Amino acid sequence: MKAAAKQQLDPTIRSTDTRDFHQSLRAKIVGQDEGVQALVDMYQVLMAGLNSPGRPIGNFLFLGPTGSGKTRIVEAAAEIWFGDPRAMLKLDCAEFQHSHEIAKLIGSPPGYLGHRETHPLITQESLAQYHNEKHKFSILLLDEIEKASDALWQLLLGMLDKAALTLGDNRRVDMSQTMIFMTSNLGGGEITELMGGGYGFIKSDDKPKDNLDQKVERTAVEAARRKFSPEFMNRLDKVVVFHPLHRKQLEQVLDIELAMVQQRVLETAKGQFLFRVTTNARDFLLQEGTDQRYGARHLKRSIERHVVYPMANLLATDQVRLGDMICIDWDPADDHLHFVREGENVAIPVRRTEPAIATKAAQARGGRPVEAPGAPLPPEPTPRFAR
């Protein structure tokens, strides 16, 4: 062996692909740094080829109150890797509350009446249906795992440990190239009482207590240990607790959701226009979209009700045209949002074949412009302007 000069190595440096994935995931997920870091670490190990042989790529249990982003982070990762947030095998565990319903997962064994008509949900083909040239792995999401029968938890033991599943007809499914995610609301009520701000969010005037994060994590993990067996918990690679969202984090969620609405508007065939939302209107949406029972999910419903539905009426009645700039403001006199056309002949962002960088809207007075997120779109020969 030839001696070499000693050189200090830096194991904290990540690959370009991993840094890009981290940046993209942070742009979609707000306030859940531990969950984001868990996915980034797993992806780095996978890209380096150091994932454990004979086991799934990763076994994760996401805990926390409803509306905190447990399912959303898996959908965001699928969208980054495969271009579609639904590019996964998602199982709603509420459908498997009885032991006999496990047959829907693995199929009925031969000899049972109608076993040939019972097609298993988990097959090698269903796991591989979203593979692309760069990513040859699959995502399995078991949503609200605590609602499933004990029989499903027993079935998961072999999947989590040996990455193998035997179907009713004795076919074996290899899950060594599968990421298994499980979500649960266990401990959500206790966490809500601990935070004193309701499900999924913290009131703006609440002051977090000392070591509050540690108390939240301990409460959720203890609830999971009371529910699941030690064999089940011991097969998990990581248990991640999602924390309720603060006011500033909800503001970031609002920006992301409004940007998605702007993208939907730009993709409509009937009319393409830009809109901006004033600060007063944003405060109104945040107030209407924060609910103690439903958390941040209620914010999306508030945007649909107060922004998307009125826009649909404006499009259907031809009150907005191609290239318009619409201002959305809140009037305290009648406690409603007002839609005002304040510009015409605004340049519409060009559609490109490659992923486009977020296109900035025209600068506006009294509010921040909504930016359309980048997405691969059909090509057009030249930029189009409203006439």
Q: Read off the pLDDT of residues 231-240 as tens digits, 9 standing for 90 and up.
A: 999 999 999 9
Q: Is 330 in a helix, a strand, or coil?
A: strand
Q: Are 370 and 262 in contact (CB under 8 A)?
A: yes
Q: According to the model, what pLDDT value does residue 117 have? A: 65
Least Cα distance to 359 among 370, 367, 368 occurs for 370
Q: Can you say how many angstroms the Cα of residue 137 is from the centroid of all Cα atoms in its chain?
A: 18
* Amino acid type, 273: F
**C-alpha dist (Å) from residue 26 to 23, 171, 174, 247, 342:** 5, 39, 31, 18, 33
pLDDT at 170 over 60: yes
Q: According to the model, what pLDDT value does residue 271 have? A: 64
Which string of DSSP letters, residue by residue, matches 222-288? HHHHHHS-HHHHHT-SEEEEPPPBPHHHHHHHHHHHHHHHHHHHHT-SS---EEEEEHHHHHHHHHH
pLDDT at 177 over 60: yes
**C-alpha dist (Å) from residue 259 to 74, 134, 349, 364, 378:** 20, 28, 14, 16, 19
The Cα–Cα gap between 236 and 249 comes to 29
The Cα–Cα gap between 51 and 47 comes to 9
pLDDT-derived band at 12, boundaries 50, 70, 90: confident
Residues 275, 278, 284, 289, CA torsion sign? positive
The Cα–Cα gap between 72 and 177 comes to 21
Structure tokens at 93: 């565990």
CATH class entry, domain 16-241: alpha beta
pLDDT at 207 over 70: no
Q: Which residues contact 10 (CB under 8 A, 6 or more apart)?
A: none
Q: According to the model, what pLDDT value does residue 342 have? A: 83
Q: Read off the pLDDT of residues 95-144 as tens digits, 9 standing for 90 and up.
A: 998 888 888 888 776 656 565 666 788 999 999 999 998 999 999 999 99
The Cα–Cα gap between 58 and 242 comes to 18
Residues 143, 149, 153, 156, CA torsion sign? negative
Options 3.40.800.10, 1.10.8.60, 3.50.50.60, 3.40.390.10; which CATH number does 247-369 get? Answer: 1.10.8.60
Helix (H) or strand (E) segment spanning residue 326: strand 325-331
**C-alpha dist (Å) from residue 96 to 69, 168, 174, 185, 305:** 23, 16, 22, 17, 33
* Amino acid type, 16: T
Higher pLDDT residue, 348 or 147?
147
Same fold, 16-241 and 247-369: no
Q: According to the model, what pLDDT value does residue 345 have? A: 65
- What phi and psi, each to the nearest 5 degrees, are found at residue 368? -85, 140
Selection from 80-89, 239-248, 255-264, 325-334 with the highest mean pLDDT: 80-89
Higher pLDDT residue, 60 or 288?
60
Q: Read off the pLDDT of residues 184-204 as tens digits, 9 standing for 90 and up.
A: 988 877 777 776 644 444 554
Q: According to the model, what pLDDT value does residue 129 have? A: 93
pLDDT-derived band at 68, boundaries 50, 70, 90: confident
CB atoms within 10 A of CB 313: 10
Q: Are 295 and 245 in contact (CB under 8 A)?
A: yes
Please state the domain extents for the chain. Answer: 16-241, 247-369
